[in-house]
Structure 1
Amino acid sequence: MVKIAIAGGTGHQEVAREIIDALVASGKHEITIFSRGSNAPTGLPSATKWQTVDYQDKNSLVQGLQGVHTLLSFVQLLSDPNQESQRNLIDAVVLAGVKRFAPSEYGSKGTTDMGWWDGKQKIRQYLEEVNRTEKVIDQQTLQVLEYTLFQPGLFLDYLAFPHKTANHVEPLQIGFNFERLRAMVVEGHEDAVITLTTAADLAAIVARAVEYEGTWPTTSGIRGNRLTFSQIIEIGERVRGRPFEVGKVKLEDLEAGELKSSWDLEAVHKAVSPDEASAFQKTVSIGFLLSSAKCAWDSSGEMNQTFPDYKFTSAEEFLTRIWERKP
């Protein structure tokens, strides 16, 4: 049994809820979910505990982390531009002697051109700084903190929009619209690669990683499917039985902040306020396309190598199941 703490596991943290469910289903762990509020969060599995914490108080965090083996963070990046909460968590983890830490990642390998994920880069750099001062135990030089970055790429579930295919992750549209037979592609980068992994597969791999007795790699890339834009469109046309309208945008226009496309995204994450939604949709579309052209979504495969027996959900089988017989 491993004692696990979850930071940011309440509110709109859909990915956290997927992973919490997978950890609970294993029946092997004691799970405590940190909450900023003083009242018990609703909807959490009965097998979990919850604890009020103040992310600005390191002493409080150290106290709450006593005896914890692994801390998984899902702290909302947009709500904390300077990433003070996660920095404090990392400091507290070191002070409390927590063995393992996973920061709030669960997406792309790179962060280039995705300003909404600047916080990820800040935390990656901070974790590197923390480990620059090594510790020596029994004449072995070890990291100050064992940590990993879980990077599954894009959720395959998003290609089912507007249909919900995960227990908690809500439908979201990004770059492809299977319902309306549309796709956006950067001209000349039709073979840009995207890693696509279901939310359920991510949760299953994280649950396995928690039990893994070896040392976590610094990066835990998860490759459910590795496909180019062209291959995704080809799959879409097969499962939908009709051609897609492919809007090709120029790299130089995107770099200039212009999205010359005939269609826009229809849904954004719940963490984005309604008055910011329109601007954020454009920002996400441009950032996703630019970053894809620069290999940001081509996740590495460390977790595939660590768990070679795990069978990931096939994109074509998944999308066929969702879209067959749909108008």
Structure 2
Amino acid sequence: MSIYKSFAVVGAGNIGLPILNALAAKNVAVILLSRPGSAAKTVPSGVEVIQVDPSNATAVAAIFKEHKVDVVLTMTPGTVPEAQRPVVDAAKLAGVKLFVPSEYGLANEGAEGVLGGKNKIAAYLKSVGIPATRIYTGLFTEYIPWLVDYPNGGKVKVIGKGEQPVSFTSVSDIVGFVAHILTTLPPSELEDRTLRLEGDRSSVSGLATHFNTSVEYVDTIAGEGGDIKVLLQNAMATGAGSSGWDGANGREGTGSNAAGSGNALWPGHKWQSIKEVLKL
């Protein structure tokens, strides 16, 4: 049985707000830390929204102490992982029991560059002695049409060959999983663990069969976010699209490090397929 009773969610975007809602539905204490001046968020009754500069570790620590926060979940965009560092400092000052850093994406242990930035936060958490739970999900299933630029032309646009296996997990499955494990599992199953989820699995080029369309091999993807799509597809081409990818050794993990191995922590749950999520 979980000993965690009080949670702080830092940031409430596409994944943060649903996780906050799911935790609140478990009848545990939840607060939301939001930047001053950010847009108002609609949250469940009983959830207090506190505006604070997340780079001010002293101010954030005071909030954590006041609310006796056991678990901190950060929802910082993957492009700015270092923004989590002051929140880690605040968690240390406040005696937080568990930290769930912003991951929810491609496996990045052993990676460098953009993906490797999150490793620095994991290393920092370890250096200051805060237990952490990292959660790899692959790409959000809902983002598949965006990734392959399907709305623009009705084809699956692929950078390179697109043959490596990729993990895809729906937002609703991720949200439910996070709320479940944090409110039911003991610390021994969460502290300093990397949990690897997978709702479904496909190569990027193989996604064409789901859409009943053809593949268009391209060097670039035009339009807003095109550079990010290329970056992600290039990362997937290395194998890192699989939630079980072992970047340090350049191979798929096995056992508790295999893609989807973390699914077992939510027994009885039916994970959604690509076709189910996208209604194909």
CA shift in 2, pair 1:126/1:32, >3 Å: same
* 8 A Cα contact 1:101 1:146, kept in partner: yes
- 298-307 vs 147-156, which moves further: 298-307
* 8 A Cα contact 1:53 1:64, kept in partner: no
| Aligned mates of 2:262, 2:241 — CA distance in 1 | 16
| Aligned mates of 1:230, 1:43 — CA distance in 2 | 39
Which residue of structure 2 lines up, in the alignment, with residue 175 of structure 1? 148
**Aligned residue runs from structure 1 range 94-109, under 5 A:** 94-109=92-107
% same residue:
25
| Aligned mates of 2:261, 2:34 — CA distance in 1 | 31
| Aligned mates of 2:277, 2:72 — CA distance in 1 | 31
1:155 to 2:140 alignment:
yes
* 8 A Cα contact 2:54 2:87, kept in partner: yes
| Aligned mates of 2:236, 2:268 — CA distance in 1 | 29
| Aligned mates of 2:207, 2:132 — CA distance in 1 | 33
Which residue of structure 1 lines up, in the alignment, with residue 206 of structure 2? 231
User: Partner letter of residue 179 of structure 2?
Assistant: A
| Aligned mates of 1:91, 1:230 — CA distance in 2 | 43
CA shift in 2, pair 1:48/1:127, >3 Å: same
| Aligned mates of 2:55, 2:162 — CA distance in 1 | 45
Which residue of structure 2 lines up, in the alignment, with residue 73 of structure 1? 74
User: Partner letter of residue 152 of structure 1?
Assistant: T
| Aligned mates of 1:155, 1:265 — CA distance in 2 | 21
User: Partner letter of residue 285 of structure 1?
Assistant: K
How many equivalent pairs are there? 257
- Post-superposition offset of 1:186: 4.4
| Aligned mates of 1:89, 1:152 — CA distance in 2 | 23
* 8 A Cα contact 2:61 2:94, kept in partner: yes
| Aligned mates of 1:205, 1:126 — CA distance in 2 | 25
CA shift in 2, pair 1:236/1:40, >3 Å: closer
- The partner residue of 1:127 within 125, 128, 131 is 125
1:146 to 2:149 alignment:
no
* 8 A Cα contact 2:10 2:33, kept in partner: yes
CA shift in 2, pair 1:302/1:101, >3 Å: farther
Which residue of structure 1 lines up, in the alignment, with residue 57 of structure 2? 58
CA shift in 2, pair 1:200/1:90, >3 Å: same
- Post-superposition offset of 1:38: 6.8
- 203-212 vs 38-47, which moves further: 38-47
- The partner residue of 1:315 within 244, 256, 274 is 274
> Could you say what secondary structure the match of 1:298 adopts?
coil
- The partner residue of 1:87 within 82, 85, 88 is 85
* 8 A Cα contact 1:112 1:296, kept in partner: no
* 8 A Cα contact 2:138 2:167, kept in partner: yes
- The partner residue of 1:202 within 134, 149, 174 is 174
* 8 A Cα contact 1:175 1:183, kept in partner: yes
Which residue of structure 2 lines up, in the alignment, with residue 192 of structure 1? 164
Which residue of structure 2 lines up, in the alignment, with residue 43 of structure 1? 42
Aligned-CA RMSD value:
2.7
CA shift in 2, pair 1:154/1:185, >3 Å: same
- The partner residue of 1:305 within 264, 267, 271 is 264
CA shift in 2, pair 1:177/1:44, >3 Å: same
- The partner residue of 2:238 within 294, 297, 311 is 294
* 8 A Cα contact 1:197 1:223, kept in partner: yes
- Post-superposition offset of 1:48: 0.7
| Aligned mates of 1:183, 1:39 — CA distance in 2 | 36
CA shift in 2, pair 1:197/1:63, >3 Å: same
1:220 to 2:195 alignment:
yes
| Aligned mates of 1:112, 1:158 — CA distance in 2 | 25
* 8 A Cα contact 1:221 1:302, kept in partner: yes
* 8 A Cα contact 1:153 1:194, kept in partner: yes
| Aligned mates of 1:19, 1:42 — CA distance in 2 | 13
* 8 A Cα contact 2:98 2:130, kept in partner: yes
TM-score by length of 1: 0.70
- Post-superposition offset of 1:220: 1.6
- Post-superposition offset of 1:76: 3.4
* 8 A Cα contact 2:35 2:52, kept in partner: yes
* 8 A Cα contact 2:19 2:175, kept in partner: yes
Structure number with larger C-alpha Rg = 1
> Structure 1, residues 111-138: CA drift from partner, whole Å, max 9, x if none?
89995555423313322433xxxxxxxx
* 8 A Cα contact 2:162 2:233, kept in partner: no
Which residue of structure 2 lines up, in the alignment, with residue 21 of structure 1? 21
> Could you say what secondary structure the match of 2:147 adopts?
coil
